[in-house]
Amino acid sequence: MNFQVTVLKILLSYPDGFARMAELKRDMAILATSGRDWAERTKSLAARVPNLDIFSQELVERMNGGWRITEKGRAFLNFMETRPMAAEVPVETEVAAPEQPKPMKRNCLPSKQAG
């Protein structure tokens, strides 16, 4: 499970984007034990932005005994979720040109000889 992505997702789930530390810890514990899907999802999202730092990039701010997601954090999470991973980007394949129609051969029947 990626800690920073999980924090962004948790804070986004609160109406005002703010959660006290006890709430964050509780939600993190629930998600950490929720199975592999969550862990894989957050790792996949984090792989899209390898230099993610929610505090130095001002995506989350510390305040009044908790953390709050900023507008920049909301926009960044939206960007991260809609940005395709390299493996997800469709690879353009070279399409072979359609084969040119071959001229029809005339049916060359042996000529009838008078006999």
Alpha carbon of residue 79 to chain centroid: 9
Where do the domains of the chain lie? 3-82
- Residue scoring higher pLDDT (66 or 106): 66
Strand-strand pairing, 60-63 and 66-69:
antiparallel
Residues 6+ apart with CB under 8 A from 58: 70, 72, 73
pLDDT in tens, 13-49: 998 999 999 999 999 999 989 889 888 988 888 888 8
pLDDT in tens, 48-96: 888 899 999 999 999 999 999 999 999 999 988 887 665 444 434 444 4
Amino acid at 47: A
Residues 6+ apart with CB under 8 A from 59: 8, 69, 70, 72, 73, 76, 77
Fold of 3-82: Arc Repressor Mutant, subunit A (1.10.10)
